[in-house]
Amino acid sequence: MEPATPLMNDETETLSRMTPVEAFLATPASSVRSETPQDPEHQYLWRCFPDHVWSQRVRDTSSWVWDFGYDIQNLNGSRRWVCKRCIQNKSPRPRSFAEKGIQNANAHLFKGHGIWAPAEATKSAAQRKAEKMKTKDQRSIADVMKLDTRLPREQEIANSLVKSFDRKHF
C-alpha cells in the first residue's frame, strides 16, 4: 500500500504547471454547490434575465421592498429589483425596476400583489390613496351593524344584508 502524500505532491505539481484558469477549472467545486442544485425559482429568474448575475452591492438595502424582490445586476453593473412573487408565479413578464426607481417596485407590490407596506415604512401613492378612501367614513355594512363576521351567525346576517342590498337604487 502506497502512502497518500506522494499522490498529493503529484496533484500539487500538476496544478502548479497549469495556467490559473486551468487550475480553477480542474479544482473540484465546493460540496455545497455540487450537492444543492439550483431551485426552480432561480432557474426561472436566470431564464428571464440571462445577462444578469446576483448583485455585488457594497452597502445594504434599507427599503422593505427589497425583501420581496431579487437584487441582480447586468454585465455593466446596473442593479435591478425583480419581483419574487412574479418569479414564483412564473409570470411571462416578471416585473423588474432599476434600483433607483424602487418606488415603482413599491407600487407594483401594492397594485399587483396586494402587499401593503409596513406601518412605519414609505408607502406607495396607490396605497396612500387606498388608505385615504378607507378612512373617509366608508364603512362596510358589517361595521355599521357592529357584526363580528368571524362568528357564523353574524356572518350569515351580514351576507343576507349584502345580498338584499339594491345597488341600482343607490
Distance of CA 71 to CAs 24, 38, 45, Å? 27, 17, 11
Three-state SS at 16? helix
**Cell, residue 57:** 452591492
User: What are the residue boundaries of the structural domains of the chain, listed by start?
Assistant: 37-123, 125-164
The separation between CA 105 and the C-alpha centre of its own chain, rounded to angstroms, equals: 10
Indicate yes or no: pTM above 0.75: no
C-alpha dihedral sign at 148, 150, 153, 157: positive
How long is the chain?
Answer: 170
**Whole-angstrom Cα distance, residue 106 to residue 113?**
10
pLDDT in tens, the chain (170 residues): 545 544 445 555 554 565 655 555 555 544 333 344 578 889 999 999 999 999 887 677 788 999 999 999 998 889 999 999 999 999 999 999 998 878 899 999 988 998 888 888 888 878 888 777 766 666 777 777 888 888 888 889 888 888 887 767 65
Bridge partners, 99 (sequence order): none
